[in-house]
């Protein structure tokens, strides 16, 4: 929602935002030709139970990691028949869906979901989560996916695409992860500094290859599948427990 200089946020939006979760505020400077103009502000909010955005840790019910991952893959595969994509790109998209949430397997992240059951790995918390750190599971996924056989079997250009889609599926990685988020509590031997340094270089490389909007469109495919899977899980952990 927009905040207009001198007027603030429209009343109807001000009321609506009380029911939403604030994610970030972006300051939009006035054009150079309007020296006396005040900047505008764009406030980004999200519904508490709306899909798989930055606040989706607070899903109403617990969803297992394996269930969510399978749901994302299934949704993505349902999109592909209607798209004119080369076979290798379709495979890359599916690989990105399979491994986009590997970083959620970290103990730190599971604790942030309120999960204290060792044998259980959650993707969604089923309640208001606790936050222990700035750790981003997308970054952890970048560290883990590179040793997966499905990833290693891809061509180098498609590996680039998979890594970018994973890095950006919650809006980070464009063009980089902030320094406070570029870490992994369980790196498992991964070169974390190099992985972080590669993110903006890969972004520039792929934007040159696919174009600004072409790359954004490819990103949107995984995001759409992730959102649909989070908004309507095929099952919850409580079911049958």
Q: Block means of pLDDT (10 residues each) for the chain, length 241 residues?
A: 58 58 70 69 59 51 96 97 96 98 96 91 81 88 97 98 98 95 95 98 98 97 96 83 52
pLDDT confidence of residue 26: 73
Helix (H/G/I), strand (E/B), else coil: 3: strand
**Residue 122, strand partner residues:** 64
Domain extents in the chain: 2-46, 56-231
pLDDT confidence of residue 39: 78
Helix (H/G/I), strand (E/B), else coil: 44: strand
CA–CA distance, 168 with 23 (Å, rounded to integer): 16
pLDDT confidence of residue 34: 59
From residue 125, give the alpha-carbon distance in Å to each of 53, 60, 72, 240. 13, 8, 17, 17
User: Contact at 8 Å (CB) between 24 and 42?
Assistant: no
Question: Residue 126 carries which DSSP code?
Answer: S
pLDDT confidence of residue 28: 76
User: Contact at 8 Å (CB) between 75 and 228?
Assistant: yes
β pairing state of 62-64 and 21-28: unpaired
pLDDT in tens, 220-232: 999 999 999 999 9
**Residue 43, strand partner residues:** 25
pLDDT in tens, 186-219: 999 999 999 999 999 999 999 999 999 999 999 9
**Residue 22, strand partner residues:** 45
- 240 burial class (0-12, 13-18, 19+ CB within 10 angstroms)? exposed
CA–CA distance, 9 with 67 (Å, rounded to integer): 39
Evaluate whether the domain defined by 56-231 bears CATH number 1.20.1530: no
Closest CA to 217 of 93, 62, 102, 131: 93
Cα-to-chain-centroid distance, residue 138? 6
pLDDT confidence of residue 35: 63
Helix (H/G/I), strand (E/B), else coil: 81: helix
Of the CA atoms within 13 Å of residue 87, those in its CB half-sphere come to: 0
- 154 burial class (0-12, 13-18, 19+ CB within 10 angstroms)? middle
Tokens 């006396």 identify what position? 36
Helix boundaries (H) for the chain: 11-16, 65-79, 87-99, 107-112, 137-145, 149-152, 156-168, 192-210, 212-231
Helix (H) or strand (E) holding 45: strand 40-46
């Amino acid at each position: 929602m927009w905040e207009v200089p001198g007027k603030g946020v429209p009343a109807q939006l001000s009321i609506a935002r009380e029911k939403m979760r604030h994610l970030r505020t972006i300051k939009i400077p006035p054009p150079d030709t309007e020296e006396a103009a005040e900047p505008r502000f764009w406030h980004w909010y999200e519904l508490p139970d709306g899909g798989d955005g930055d606040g989706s840790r607070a899903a109403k019910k617990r969803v297992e990691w394996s269930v969510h991952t399978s749901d994302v893959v299934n949704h993505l595969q349902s999109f592909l028949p209607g798209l004119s994509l080369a076979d290798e790109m379709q495979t890359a998209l599916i690989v990105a869906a399979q491994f986009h949430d590997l970083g959620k397997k970290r103990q730190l992240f599971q604790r942030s979901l309120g999960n204290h059951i060792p044998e259980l790995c959650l993707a969604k918390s089923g309640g208001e989560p606790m936050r222990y750190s700035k750790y981003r599971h997308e970054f952890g996924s970048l560290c883990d996916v590179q040793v997966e056989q499905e990833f290693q079997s891809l061509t180098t250009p498609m590996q680039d695409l998979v890594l970018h889609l994973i890095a950006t599926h919650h809006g980070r990685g464009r063009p980089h992860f902030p320094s406070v988020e570029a870490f992994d509590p369980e790196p498992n031997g991964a070169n974390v500094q190099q992985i972080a340094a590669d993110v903006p270089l890969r972004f520039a490389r792929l934007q040159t290859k696919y174009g600004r909007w072409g790359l954004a469109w490819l990103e949107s495919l995984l995001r759409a599948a992730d959102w649909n899977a989070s908004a309507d899980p095929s099952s919850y952990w409580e079911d049958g427990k």
